[in-house]
Structure 1
Amino acid sequence: MYRRSIINLVLIAILLFSASSSVALAGQGNSLIGELSERDVFHANEYQYNLFYNEWHYFNVIDEEQGLEIVTTLKLNGGVSTGYSYAQVFLGYNKGIIPGASVELYPITDTAFSEDTPNVRINKSWVELTPQGYHVYAESGDGNAVFDAIFKPMVEPVQLDAESLPGSGSMSWLVASSKMNVDGTLTVGEKTYTLKNARGYHDHNWGFWNWASVGWDWGQVSQTKKNQQGNDVGTYSISFGNVTNSTHTDSMSSVLNVWKNKKVAASFNDADVQISHSLVSAPDYLFLPVPAEYPRQTVINATSDDGDWVNITFTAKQPVPLPIPLTPLDPGYLIIWEIIGEYEVEGVIDGKPVSFVAGGFLEYAAKF
């Protein structure tokens, strides 16, 4: 739903704070916080006159002890599908077999952000980088669901750039932290879930592209400590991405990174990475505007000349679709599937075996 409000003095104060906070954060003892305060910033002025402009913060968290998964996205949009720029807040959560999701659209005037910091506010939801980590607050449109947490980065960031996309455009992807420690709460109605040492992830995308021309794969998982059930973060984390054409038949650029502790231990690119999906029809209860399929199982194989390799199998547990209407000249929908599931990882990195099973996330985007 669309909402109207006027930016008040509180939002002006946020902007003033944002303009100076990167200097203060850069001086903090946590080197990751200082680096992210300079790298994880917004780029709206660079693309503000492009109707195909897109930019967002993405955060997720998985608490296997409680069987709880959460995803939230704060996004700025060009006006290609609506005729005017707007902002968007997505909050999705899953507890057992009862998923919930809220997608709210707001006028761009309900937004405050800075090109000097990662900080952004959209209506009542916001992200602020503090000396302790990212403070993320997301609220559903009806106020029934509220997510409030601190995401502490634990590994070095990696940025990837796709400069040539189908239908023209460019996309930048900053994996701000593939492994994070999360403390906070999710409140749904009168029930509050407390997160303590949960495993999290954060990335940031920006650029301009035609939604009718692109698709992608993305996935992320972090090992649990000693491969045991629980929330403590282990040694390895993995993130992969693959930009495709809209029908998902041609890969433009792909990458898979493996972090060991704080540093990237192995990186695979393009032909080194092979991704295949076993697609199934979306269930009727999702009430999609068009018939669509999602990957029930995804297999990723990555090898390098120096002997590093990983074989990964992802099995979907809970799919949540985000349909994006395309332009009247190109009717249809690009559907971004936000999928929760289980990763099985086997491989050899730097001569040492890697083997673990853990819950994680996957996105599959294609035109239908």
Structure 2
Amino acid sequence: MTAVLAGSDFLRAPLLAAAHPDGFKEWQHFVVHGRDHRVLINFSVTDECTADGQHRLIPRVIVIVKADRWSGAVERYESTEMEVPTDLGGLTIGGNRLTVLSDGYRVSVDLPRRDVRAELELTSVTKPFVVNNQPLGAGRMSWLFVPRLRVDGWVRCAGVEHRIEHELAYHDHNWGRFHWGDDFGWTWGTVLPTDPGDPWSMVLLQMTDRSRLRYLSQAVYVWHDDEPAAIFRHAAVTTSRRGTFTRSADCTLPPAMQLVLDGNLAGVPEQLEVSAHRAGDAVHATFTPQSFARLAYPSEVRLDRSVVLCETSGDAHFTGVIGGERLDVTGAGVFEFLHG
């Protein structure tokens, strides 16, 4: 498992962005499913075209923490503040560092202007899974995800320090060439059990057009311990959204985007139901949001639009039969709903 991780999860930007930079984006994303908190940490690099037609990679670090409510920060850096090791197995952005280890990841965050700091050590429990060159509007995106990791460390945000001891986490790594605001949206969810001893984990990926009327690609992945137990794709998966979540966002990042987005619906359902069937295996899952934070980006396609990504935390439950074995899992869900 460690050899697969070390050989698969490396930075693509120095290779792919140099060959064709327009619209290139890449990020490493971590979600900690703590007992009384959620922690999201994101290291990203994005191609930006200057006024004179030159391309440069702009790095950012995002940290969002939910305890009683979501809070967090986004920090943008200059290209000169980014370093990539020769083996492509990590990324340094200012005082922040991500290192891919043989069996996991080490993440260090230091945003002194925002009073945000973190030190996390994540050990992979499951093998990574890679999906390449999926259509996304007029572009393409690839991703690698690790459904389940063990994590230890701490994070400080909004004046509160949270200790993280033997908790569960999720990781994905995404890269491709596309433009925010193009004709696409997505729902991307991870469910991990409340009981760390429960061996089941689930991931939902659903790529749509902007209006959510047409599905471009969708899949449900169910893991048992370190191995995928079942994969349901495309027509084997059905989803339904019930109602609209009416609670306002706990926070909007960057904060200035709050002025632009006031009055807009969040695009988060009151409940999301997912059913999947294939070759005698079946899974049914429900996710009920409790709160969310918004990340907002100016559209790269139209000046009068914004792209909104809702990071949503809530209760999750999935049941089913896989390989003749019944499963009944209660857990925590973190789902992204992107629209724009």
- One fold, TM greater than 0.5? yes
In 2, the alpha carbon distance for the partners of 1:196 and 1:284 equals 28
2:110 alignment partner, one of 139, 158, 174: 139
Q: Is the 8 Å Cα contact of residues 64 and 71 (structure 2) preserved in structure 1?
A: yes
Question: 1:90 and 2:31 equivalent?
Answer: no
RMSD: 2.1
Question: 1:217 and 2:187 equivalent?
Answer: yes
In 1, the alpha carbon distance for the partners of 2:249 and 2:319 equals 35
Deviations 1:232-256 (A, max 9, x none): 3421111111111122221111111
Q: Is the 8 Å Cα contact of residues 250 and 292 (structure 2) preserved in structure 1?
A: no
Aligned ranges for residues 130-209 of structure 1 at < 5 Å? Answer: 130-131=101-102, 133-140=104-111, 142-166=113-137, 168-175=138-145, 177-188=146-157, 191-209=160-178
Alpha-carbon distance change, 78 to 348 in structure 1, aligned in 2, over 3 angstroms: same
1:151 counterpart SS class: strand
Alpha-carbon distance change, 222 to 115 in structure 1, aligned in 2, over 3 angstroms: farther
Question: 1:236 and 2:210 equivalent?
Answer: no
By how many angstroms is 1:139 displaced? 2.9
In 2, the alpha carbon distance for the partners of 1:130 and 1:195 equals 19
Q: Is the 8 Å Cα contact of residues 136 and 147 (structure 1) preserved in structure 2?
A: yes
Aligned ranges for residues 264-283 of structure 1 at < 5 Å? Answer: 264-278=228-242, 279-281=244-246, 283=248
Q: Is the 8 Å Cα contact of residues 181 and 233 (structure 1) preserved in structure 2?
A: no
In 2, the alpha carbon distance for the partners of 1:81 and 1:276 equals 42
Question: 1:333 and 2:297 equivalent?
Answer: no
Q: Is the 8 Å Cα contact of residues 249 and 293 (structure 2) preserved in structure 1?
A: no
Alpha-carbon distance change, 139 to 78 in structure 1, aligned in 2, over 3 angstroms: same
Q: 5+ unaligned residues in a row in structure 2: which ranges?
A: 252-257
Residue 303 of structure 1 is matched in structure 2 by 277
Q: Is the 8 Å Cα contact of residues 190 and 202 (structure 2) preserved in structure 1?
A: yes
Q: 5+ unaligned residues in a row in structure 1: which ranges?
A: 1-31, 226-231
1:37 counterpart SS class: helix
Alpha-carbon distance change, 34 to 283 in structure 1, aligned in 2, over 3 angstroms: same
Residue 128 of structure 1 is matched in structure 2 by 99
Residue 35 of structure 1 is matched in structure 2 by 4
Give the TM-score normalised by structure 1. Answer: 0.82
In 1, the alpha carbon distance for the partners of 2:291 and 2:65 equals 10
Residue 251 of structure 1 is matched in structure 2 by 215
Deviates more, 1:321-330 or 1:251-260: 321-330
Amino acid at match of 1:237: S
Sequence identity, in percent? 22
Deviations 1:140-178 (A, max 9, x none): 352512111101000111111244332x21110101x20
Give the TM-score normalised by structure 2. Answer: 0.89
By how many angstroms is 1:328 displaced? 6.5
